[in-house]
Amino acid sequence: MHPIVKLVAQRLALGALLLLAASALIFGLTEALPGDAAQAILGQAATAESLANLREEMGLNRPALTRYFEWLGGILTGDMGVALTNKLDIATSVASRMSNTLFLAFWAALISVPLAILLGLIAVRYQNRWPDKAISGVTLASISLPEFMIAYILIFFFAVKLFWAPSFANISPSMDLLDKLHAIALPVAVLVMVVLAHMMRMTRAAILNVMQSAYIETAELKGLTGFQVIARHAFPNAIAPIVNVVMINMAYLVVGVVVVEVVFAYPGMGQYLVDAVVKRDVPVVLACGVIFAAVYILLNIFADVVSILTNPRLRHPK
């Protein structure tokens, strides 16, 4: 078997095992939560008899291990079940919520990835000079602030004071693209500021590491300008670590948007998960948790595969 095929197969197998372990961990954590969906629906004033009847109806009185394997079997066949609190099909709800989260993540990535790479190239070109120090200082300041603080600062200035953007990012299928973009302007800005710094600093570090190579000095002796050396010779050879950090941040844009979605009341997966946790709706929490884990694991596997494919020693084994 070719070394690349073997390594990719190993990564995929490890990803499947991690996803299985993540599903068991998420199920265990939901079981450890105080109360249950029946208690959340009926409230504190519910009688023991009414709680017992509702738990029987919902299947909550069955052993946890039985419920886990039934749920796991449903997930493997594409059946996420129904929400305990409103009896709606979870897959249908997840589809609409996930499309909203991906819409938000797409526009944040479209802005942040090219901008991070460009700023990283500029920082390397003007290393230890004022452009490098200015870029590093601003990005370090943005990464030091928590997301909710950045969100509230932007809301205060751009929504409350200047009225340039809405403070609530509520979108619907009936809205046209421009209206949707106007609605998500502030949450996209928050996500860009959060992921931009990490990607830029890692891009800068990866390219600076490559700049120490002998072939870079050869390129400089050929008379190429500093930016040409960086763009044509250093950047392509630093692509593996850059792709890794980009994929990690792409995973964050999908998985880590819970705080941003809650602050802006955005109808995405993060808000859906928080609502389900409050209501103790275990099937919804499990579905959201497994989807988040799958996205994170798959993007990390993709980054590993790109790193493998960009390794000449694996592409051309002796």
Using one digit for the tens of pLDDT, what is the confidence trace for 278-312?
Answer: 877 778 888 898 899 888 888 888 888 777 777 66
Domains and CATH numbers, the chain: 90-289 (1.10.3720.10)
Residue 53 identity:
N
pLDDT at 140 over 90: no
Instruction: Answer whether 27's CB lies under 8 Å from 68's CB.
Output: yes
Q: What is the pLDDT of residue 315?
A: 58
Nearest to residue 128, comparing CAs of 218, 221, 224, 204? 204
Which pLDDT tens digit goes with each residue over 236-251? 878 878 888 888 888 8
Mean pLDDT across 91-112: 92
Which phi and psi (to 5°) does residue 201 adopt? -70, -35
Q: Is the pLDDT of residue 46 over 70?
A: yes
| CA proximity to 129, closest of 10, 226, 48, 36 | 226
216: pLDDT strictly greater than 70? yes
CA distance 156 to 169: 15
Whether the predicted pLDDT of 191 surpasses 90: yes
Apex 65 CA angle, 64 and 68, nearest 5: 85
